[in-house]
Structure 1
Amino acid sequence: MTAYGYFLSSEEFTPAELLDQARMAEQAGFEGLAVSDHFHPWNDEQGQSPFVWSMIGALSQVTSLPITTLVTCPTVRVHPAINAQAAATAAVLTGGRFRFGLGSGEALNEHILGGAWPEAAERLQMLEEAVQVIRKLSTGERVTHHGTHYTVQNARLYTLPAEPVPLYVSGFGPEAAALAGRIGDGFVTMTPDATLVEQFRRAGGGGKPVIGGLKVCWDTDRARAVKTAHRLWPSEQLPGELAQILPTPEHFEQAAGLVTEDMVADAVVCGDATGDHVAAVRAYSEAGFDEVYVSQIGPDQKQFFDFYRAEVLPRLRDGMSVD
């Protein structure tokens, strides 16, 4: 049965607001939390970007829900050895309820130290080696690693959870899905694409978890919801590799000038029609996903959680249709 969680948007909300949302998500009946890991927001209108590891420490003290990063890039901005230590501590703080979502990253967050942004194929190679480093350190043994991209010298993690942190690998195309099947404990992808799920499973994913997520904008006025989603998240509608290669929020704002409100209205569930929300989330279950994380765009968080508690989650769990 598919589990339904809430996706905390660290690009859009302050740390205090994210903690409030986590509490409301648990009270509303969501079964897990996902949190984004960014250095920059996608645009200045979103306006936030707290440090994810500080947030996870705080979240561990206010909720009993499992927490997953969706996703962390462990290859450029922060060395994989430090990511391994951070993930292990997060797992200890949460009593083993932390899962580490990993991806090949975006220039938006990873270019900040001044290095060149690698091509996609090299980024996948770096991700694979980073996973190797994290797994070695997760054993608690002393690790020395001299690889193509990373060096680790006499490193050992002393604060470790009872079991290694599950590593869920993100991908949006067949090569990344195959890599996730080969090296990951689970697969993360953001569209309800049954073909990608099958590619992951054929490549070694078997019965491992598949996780997805979507943004919605609840509002009693659909037109107003569309405007809110267009103002805050036009970047979601940018095509191809733009999301991976544009380096600054200003570049995303320039590119997003090509995204119209009609494009957002066609792609994002906006308004308070229960059937629209149920159908959008259920599409992931039908595509073979094990967990789906929903994120509310904009300020109406309490109303969103009330709506999902009363109208959406019961129908999803009972398999009820909505006219």
Structure 2
Amino acid sequence: MTEIRFGYKASNEQFAPTELLNYGVMAEEQGFDSVFISDHLQPWRHDGGHAPFAMTWLGALGARTERIVMGTSVLTPTFRYHPAIVAQSFATLGSLFPDRVVLGMGTGEAMNEAPLGVEWPEGKVRFARFREAVRVIKKLWSEDRVTFEGDYYQLDRATIYDKPSSPVPIYLAGSGPAATKYAGRAGDGYITTSGKGAELYTDTLLPAVRTGIELSGRKPEDVDMMIEVKVSFDHDLEQAMEATRFWGALGLSPEQKHSVEDPVEMQRLADALPTEATAKRFIVSTDPDEHVARIKEYLDMGFTHLVFHAPGPDQAKFLKLYGEEILPKLRALV
């Protein structure tokens, strides 16, 4: 039987490093199975935004915890970082914390790369660079003295000297059929996000990732199906709705935010939205049973690793409430 896991999304776009670290530790204490952090150079909004360095933060979290699985959701190994640096970093994390580290990766966003002088390319080019970066990382983890001549990256007798004793799983993100099919073919896990309409998952994304898995010669249960589930849970409905405003950018269309490179501009666009629009990507309710019923829809689709992203400023309150009122009900389901 496939293991079902429930995780916590540590929002580095919203909280300073020490505060966020305390929340990661609390997640383990409250019974969550994993903690995942995004990797951002710049946050979704300028006022009140944060952007601690994910790879450093994961090392601190590993040292403060004992059992949780931890990783990125997601990191971009193509522009800010040469993929060899990503390979070295996660090999070190995997050596320090065996069987507890996941490398989650995606094709990236202009907001994180363009401020460093990157000319943000079209999606086809980003995807090609991404696939090549994944090849580079895998070769460095499995071979010594790697020489590689790619379209975007070159290696000359490169070696990662401190490889972990057990492999670090690679999870790949995808929001369209091509990237999702590739994630199923090349990844140990697949990452997507919630709140986009059931048909997108059932008719497009999940069939694509399963096709990729079949092409790799594996079975669906061999790949961890991870989804970030956006939830706003409070005993006060008005507070649960208002909490989503910090994450108003999630309510923007892909076309609205595709080429936005400045958190100030992203914030301006998001703040122009009504609260109903900022809340539409979240499960917003004061009723634990409603949360469980709507989360169960993702379990029924076949997702096996649900990572909960709460938008509110009081994450300690969220972790306590979800740990006490929601997680036991979910575990009873599975």
When the two structures are superposed, what TM-score results if normalisation uses the length of structure 1? 0.93
2:21 to 19, 23, 34: 19
2:325 to 311, 318, 322: 311
The residue correspondences of 1:268-283 to structure 2 (distance < 5 A) are 268-283=282-297
3-state SS, counterpart of residue 155 of structure 2: strand
Q: Which consecutive residues of structure 2, in runs of 5 or more, have no partner in the other structure? A: none
Q: Distance in 2 between matches of 1:241 and 1:59?
A: 35
CA-CA distance at 1:258 after TM superposition: 4.3
Residue 80 of structure 1 corresponds to 83
CA-CA distance at 1:112 after TM superposition: 2.5
CA-CA distance at 1:96 after TM superposition: 2.6
The residue correspondences of 1:106-255 to structure 2 (distance < 5 A) are 106-191=109-194, 193-195=201-203, 196-204=205-213, 206-207=219-220, 208-230=223-245, 232-255=246-269
3-state SS, counterpart of residue 267 of structure 1: coil
Check 1:315–1:273 CA distance in 2 against 1; reply closer, same or farther (3 A cut): same
Cα deviation digits, residues 186-238 of structure 1 (max 9, x gap): 211113623312210112263211111022233332112222211x1001111
Q: Distance in 2 between matches of 1:76 and 1:266?
A: 32
Residue 37 of structure 2 corresponds to 35
Verify the 8 A CA contact 1:219 1:300 in the aligned structure 2. Answer: no
Q: Which moved more, 1:239-248 or 1:205-214?
A: 239-248
Q: Distance in 2 between matches of 1:47 and 1:204?
A: 38
Q: Distance in 2 between matches of 1:181 and 1:266?
A: 28
3-state SS, counterpart of residue 47 of structure 1: coil
Q: Distance in 2 between matches of 1:238 and 1:108?
A: 14
CA-CA distance at 1:49 after TM superposition: 0.5
Q: Percentage identity across aligned positions?
A: 36
Verify the 8 A CA contact 1:140 1:160 in the aligned structure 2. Answer: no
CA-CA distance at 1:137 after TM superposition: 0.5
3-state SS, counterpart of residue 61 of structure 1: helix
Check 1:112–1:265 CA distance in 2 against 1; reply closer, same or farther (3 A cut): closer
Residue 72 of structure 2 corresponds to 69
Q: Distance in 2 between matches of 1:12 and 1:29?
A: 23
3-state SS, counterpart of residue 112 of structure 1: helix
* Residue identity opposite 1:22 in structure 2: G
3-state SS, counterpart of residue 19 of structure 1: helix
Verify the 8 A CA contact 1:77 1:111 in the aligned structure 2. Answer: no
Q: Which consecutive residues of structure 1, in runs of 5 or more, have no partner in the other structure? A: none
Residue 5 of structure 1 corresponds to 7
3-state SS, counterpart of residue 279 of structure 2: helix
CA-CA distance at 1:149 after TM superposition: 0.8
Verify the 8 A CA contact 1:218 1:272 in the aligned structure 2. Answer: yes
CA-CA distance at 1:140 after TM superposition: 4.5
Residue 278 of structure 2 corresponds to 264
1:98 to 97, 101, 117: 101
Q: Distance in 1 between matches of 2:248 and 2:132?
A: 33
* Residue identity opposite 1:224 in structure 2: Q
* Residue identity opposite 2:202 in structure 1: A
Q: Distance in 2 between matches of 1:280 and 1:45?
A: 32
Cα deviation digits, residues 93-152 of structure 1 (max 9, x gap): 212311111100000101122121011111110010000000010024111212101112
* Residue identity opposite 2:23 in structure 1: Q
Q: Distance in 1 between matches of 2:255 and 2:138?
A: 29
Cα deviation digits, residues 216-263 of structure 1 (max 9, x gap): 233332112222211x10011111244443111122123224421112
Q: Distance in 1 between matches of 2:271 and 2:313?
A: 23
Q: Distance in 2 between matches of 1:71 and 1:185?
A: 14
Number of equivalenced pairs? 319
Q: Distance in 2 between matches of 1:13 and 1:123?
A: 29
Q: Which moved more, 1:108-117 or 1:253-262?
A: 253-262
Check 1:254–1:299 CA distance in 2 against 1; reply closer, same or farther (3 A cut): closer
